[in-house]
Structure 1
Amino acid sequence: MLFAIDVGNTNITMGLFDGEKLEKTFRMTTGISRTSDEFGVFLGELLRMRNLPLDVIDEVIIASVVPNVMHSLTNGIRKYFKLDPLIVEPGVKTGINITIPNPRQLGADRIVDAVAAYHMYGGPVLVIDFGTATTYDLVNGDGSFIAGVTSPGIRLGANALWSGTAKLPEIEIKVPDTVLCKDTISSMQAGVCLGYIGQTEYIVKRMRKESGFDNMKVVATGGLGKMIYENTDCIDTYDPDLTLYGLRIIMDKQKQA
């Protein structure tokens, strides 16, 4: 089985694949400092709690945007799983072309999302990942990554709102029933959520216009992506496991090379 690991700024998301089927998913916090032994034991326990032995894993692939985690994580996998993980980095076969001037500036997560969106939904496709940051990445019909936009994530913006003001409270991030708000909480929810929906719709519209891709598909992923998807017509599909599927596709590409 393939163990796919996506190391994000907030969470480490993991998926266990049996062939092309995603069997199980796991999630742990990124921001805690862990040793290689702690990573190995923790990952092993996640499997054991689901009645899976360590030796059920025969392949591991990792995409990471947090370099400080990688030494302990990779060594933990080598020590406890007896496997050398494939790291998504320059030189790894992905099946798409990165045509921006400095490809090394592009995060591994964005590459993986682009691979998944193109191979699963075709091109041209715009993939939006609503994570700690929100990224909008455009792949054309030939499978070339041609442009991207980066903005602060919804939760990041909300945190700035209540931490940077003396009287505004921390709120639940959800879309209010109306924009005609009459209390502080709902007014903040409207500003954060409806404002973000407006940003999404404008960027999608602008990218569609400037690229000329009138038939462009729009695929969303990421923790809060479902909320945006359910409140706008500009997104065609929401796929919470898009990044994990991208990792599986990249691993398959290595076998075909």
Structure 2
Amino acid sequence: MNLIIDFGNTSIKAALFDGPRLIETYTGISTEHLIKLSKENNPEYLIVSSVTKSQLEVSNLLGADIIYLSSSLPLPFQINYKTPQTLGLDRIAGIAGAQELFPNQNVLVIDLGTCITYDLIDSKNVYHGGGISPGLKMRFKSLHNFTAKLPLIEPTNEFELIGQSTKESILSGVINGMISEIDGIIRMYTDKFAHLRIIMCGGDAKFFENRIKANIFVAPELVLMGLNRILLYNV
């Protein structure tokens, strides 16, 4: 049994795998639940990706026999990135997850979380990089925080192209702007890479999956799948 843990910017996610097979996932769990999960399942292998806790903090919680994700860890793909040491761990794991789903294919991973990240791996298993832009909630917060009078708006499924109030205008600008961005980015990658697969993941993937023109595959557990793939590559 493998225990996979992702300490993200906003929550803790975990999963249990039997080899490559996903058994169960846990989203938004507490550290106490995580400790209990580890003790109850006594995993043979454990991998951690963390952007919020140090290795010392994690070791104090879960023990010492842990594989920690980093760009220097042996990976099942080649990194063609100028500054691999600055590459986000979630991006690394997402690419490994894309390999698991569509091996030896051109794949664009779009992760819709705190930020939007775009990541490209080609059919020769070379990771080329991608892009980073503000996520959905970040866009709403920035309009509120960097202006004197614009209110803080929560995302909603009810929005129009032409807003007829300040609230409606913000919803239109932010949500339609993101849709146009994603559609446009996909189009540019599709022009550059033949037979491109598109995978969408992250907390806002469900919100956008039916609003994007391209044929996309939504994989909510992509990062956890990728972490497990990297774990299996290292044991």
TM-score normalized by structure 1? 0.82
- Contact 1:133/1:153 (8 A) holds in 2: yes
Which digits, 9 at most, give the CA deviation of each residue in 1:20-44, with x for residues without a partner?
1231323248xxxxxxxxx4x4423
Letter in 2 for 1:250: I
The correspondence of residues 234-249 of structure 1 with structure 2, limited to 5 A, is: 234-249=214-229
The correspondence of residues 184-203 of structure 1 with structure 2, limited to 5 A, is: 184-203=166-185
Letter in 2 for 1:75: N
Letter in 1 for 2:3: F
The corresponding residue for 2:79 is 98
Letter in 2 for 1:159: K
The corresponding residue for 2:211 is 231
- Contact 1:130/1:221 (8 A) holds in 2: yes
The correspondence of residues 95-244 of structure 1 with structure 2, limited to 5 A, is: 95-122=76-103, 123-209=105-191, 212-244=192-224
Q: Does 1:15 align with 2:15?
A: yes
- Contact 1:59/1:85 (8 A) holds in 2: yes
Q: Secondary structure at the match of 2:28?
A: strand
Q: Does 1:64 align with 2:68?
A: no
**Residues of 2 paired with 1:55 and 1:180: CA distance?**
53
- Contact 1:118/1:124 (8 A) holds in 2: no
Among candidates 204, 209, 230, match of residue 250 of structure 1? 230
Letter in 1 for 2:163: C
**Residues of 2 paired with 1:11 and 1:69: CA distance?**
15
Which digits, 9 at most, give the CA deviation of each residue in 1:211-242, with x for residues without a partner?
x2131111010000221212112251111110
- How much has 1:97 moved relative to structure 2? 0.5
Q: Does 1:54 align with 2:37?
A: no
Q: Secondary structure at the match of 2:16?
A: strand
Among candidates 61, 66, 70, match of residue 76 of structure 1? 61
State the 4+ residue runs in structure 1 displaced beyond 3 angstroms: none
Q: Secondary structure at the match of 1:205?
A: helix
- How much has 1:245 moved relative to structure 2? 0.4
Among candidates 17, 35, 45, match of residue 44 of structure 1? 35
Which digits, 9 at most, give the CA deviation of each residue in 1:49-98, with x for residues without a partner?
xxx853433321111233x54431232111xxxx5110012342221100
- Contact 1:229/1:235 (8 A) holds in 2: no
How high is the sequence identity, in percent, across the aligned residues? 29
Among candidates 42, 61, 86, match of residue 67 of structure 2? 86
**Residues of 2 paired with 1:149 and 1:193: CA distance?**
19
- Contact 2:35/2:62 (8 A) holds in 1: no
- How much has 1:104 moved relative to structure 2? 1.8
Letter in 1 for 2:34: L
TM-score normalized by structure 2? 0.89
Q: Which moved more, 1:54-63 or 1:103-112?
A: 54-63
Unpaired runs of 5+ residues, structure 2, are none
Greater RCO structure (CA 8 Å; 6+ sep): 2
**Residues of 2 paired with 1:222 and 1:142: CA distance?**
25
**Residues of 1 paired with 2:117 and 2:205: CA distance?**
11
Q: Secondary structure at the match of 2:211?
A: coil
The corresponding residue for 1:35 is none
Q: Secondary structure at the match of 1:203?
A: helix
- Between the two proteins, the alignment pairs up a number of residues equal to 233
Using a 3 Å threshold, how does the CA distance of structure 1 residues 217 and 159 change in structure 2: closer, same or farther?
A: same
Letter in 1 for 2:222: L
**Residues of 1 paired with 2:88 and 2:39: CA distance?**
32
Unpaired runs of 5+ residues, structure 1, are 30-38
